[in-house]
Amino acid sequence: MIHAPHVDWFALSTVLALLGASGVALLGAVLVPRPAQRAFAATVAALGFTGGIVASVWLYVASASGHRVVANAFYRDRWTALAQAIVCAVGLATTLLSVEHMPGWSRDADRSRRDDHVAEFFALLLASAAGMAFFVGAANLMTLFLSLEWLSIALYVMCAIDYDREGSLEAGLKYLVVGSFGSATLLFGSALVYGATGSIGFPEIAHAVSARGLSHDVLLVLGLALVIAGLAFKSSAAPFHMWTPDVYQGAPTPVTAFMSSATKVAALVLALRVLATAFPQEARLWTWAFAGIAVASLTIGNLAALVQRDVKRILAYSSISHAGFVLIGLSAGTALGGRALMYYLIPYAAMAFGSFAVVAARERELGVPVTLDTIAGFGWERPFLGVAMWFFLFGLAGLPLTGGFVGKFYVLAAAYDHGWAWLVIVGVLATLVSLYYYLGIVRAMYMRPSDELRVGAAVAGGSPPREALLHVSVGLALAVAVGSLFAVEPLVDLARHAASSLPF
């Protein structure tokens, strides 16, 4: 006889809100007449994400003492709740950004707005966010793998949803192939860890390792290495980043914005949880491994970005280098590192999302890919978006205009605190290199007149109308990015309480 476990529905409320909204949006694709589908699905998505934010905030407040629920498969604690809140906020902003999204925006295609698949798009967005909300709370290797697949499959489809466009299809396929490889690596690693320890729950693994003296067990170490590789795939850290530039460039820009912020948050937050909870005895191994991955990401991400012309590709490489920065905090493997990681992700998510949102605006305006040539003069034509982009780019570069500055300071402090002064120097050098390409975009936007624009023929039909919702989403991202510079104390307190759920 099977005993059904007790289910703490409240702990799952964020996931359920998102999943429920996803179901409603999907029903809308069938039941709601086509002209109303866009409005209907977007409203449902916005409500779903708002519900998710409310639920996760409530969970944060009500989960001061973290514990596992649902047969020890899911964590109900502040680390989960805070990450869920960030994911839902990014999801809400993505919804605003996607309302006016036109599938097949390329110049050759029919530029009139098309409404096919819009309800499905929002349903998938909600579903992948629900997957992330579950992923960050995963408490054993099984829920970890399941939720990883759950969020990934939704993302694969979203990448390829502009199937008229070759780039989108290519992105979807590439992400599917490489992403499946990453998942398989993670699964194989999980199997080895299970084989070595006989348990799948994170604390149980740690317990088994210390009880049976397995810390140098070959199976376990190999399994850990594969788990690390699998997680690095999802957080697009070098040398597991190969898919990132192509997928970020090819995917519809709102999807890229969502992936570069929410997916990265989920993957990095979970990575620290797994390592700190399940493998504390191997801390020496994984701190060094992640320090190495961080250095590789910073080097490869920044150097490769220098030679790109396409703005989405530049930002993709920049996101690789930022994964490197966050991993500096992670590799410290301390409470300070945990705080640094969580704090860093808040302005980072806002800036990564915001910069892709601005790219989306330019893309819709011109109907061509946004390169350093086609973005020329944009800052003067669209003052608000230009200034916002200016803030995001300087912020990503770590200049003291946004919380990105404090975040960088925090991860470097965590690295030094761990005794790794050399990692501080690496971080500093990487920042210096990154300035060149961030400033390259600013230079193109403000310092080159738009008559240099090499678009070829004039854009047919003129500029599309101003998109109020897109502006709102960029404005929210800007507010978070700049606000986090001033409100460091409250945000760090949030991160501290969240990180206290982890066993440091």
Options 91-99, 191-199, 237-245, 428-436: segment touching other proteins (CB under 8 A): 428-436
| Contact pick of 115, 373, 381, 417 for other proteins (by CB under 8 A) | 417
Q: How far is CA 199 from the centre of its chain?
A: 29
CA angle 321, 251, 236 (to 5 degrees): 25
State which of residues 10, 181, 188, 409 lies at the interface with other proteins (CB under 8 A): 409
Buried b (16+ CB within 10 A) or exposed e, 69-83: bbebbbbbbbbbbbb
Q: Does 406 interact with other proteins (rule: CB under 8 A)?
A: yes
- The reply to whether 288 sits near other proteins by the rule CB under 8 A is no
Contact status: 453 vs other proteins (CB under 8 A): no
Which helix H or strand E contains 53, and what residues bound it? helix 34-62
Three-class DSSP category at 502: coil
> Could you tell me how far CA 45 lies from the centroid of its own chain?
18
Please tell me the distance from the alpha carbon of residue 153 to that of residue 130, in angstroms, as a whole number.
12
Any contact of residue 476 with other proteins (CB under 8 A)? no
Tell the smallest beta-carbon distance from residue 488 to other proteins (Å): 4
Measured distance CA(328)–CA(408) in Å, rounded: 10
Cα(411)–Cα(166) distance, integer angstroms: 39
479 touches other proteins by CB under 8 A: no
Binding string to other proteins for residues 84 to 123, with x set by CB under 8 A, is what? ----------------------------------------
3-class secondary-structure state, position 74: strand
Size of site (CB under 8 A) for other proteins: 34
472 binds other proteins (CB under 8 A): no
Q: Is 443 in the site for other proteins (CB under 8 A)?
A: yes
The region of 50-58, 208-216, 351-359, 422-430 touching other proteins under the rule CB under 8 A is 422-430
Q: How far is the CB of 421 from other proteins (least distance, A)?
A: 6
Q: Rule CB under 8 A: say whether 303 interacts with other proteins.
A: no
Say which DSSP state 402 is in. Answer: S
Please give the backbone phi and psi of residue 10, each rounded to the nearest 5 degrees, phi first. Answer: -60, -40
Site residues for other proteins, 315-344, by CB under 8 A, read: 339
Q: DSSP readout, 486-498?
A: H-HHHHHHHHHHH
Residues listed for the chain: 504
Instruction: Kindly list the residues in this chain that would bind other proteins in the complex (CB under 8 A).
Output: 339, 380, 383, 387, 394, 399-401, 405-406, 409-410, 412-413, 416-417, 421, 424-425, 428-429, 431-432, 435-436, 439, 442-443, 446-447, 488-489, 492, 496
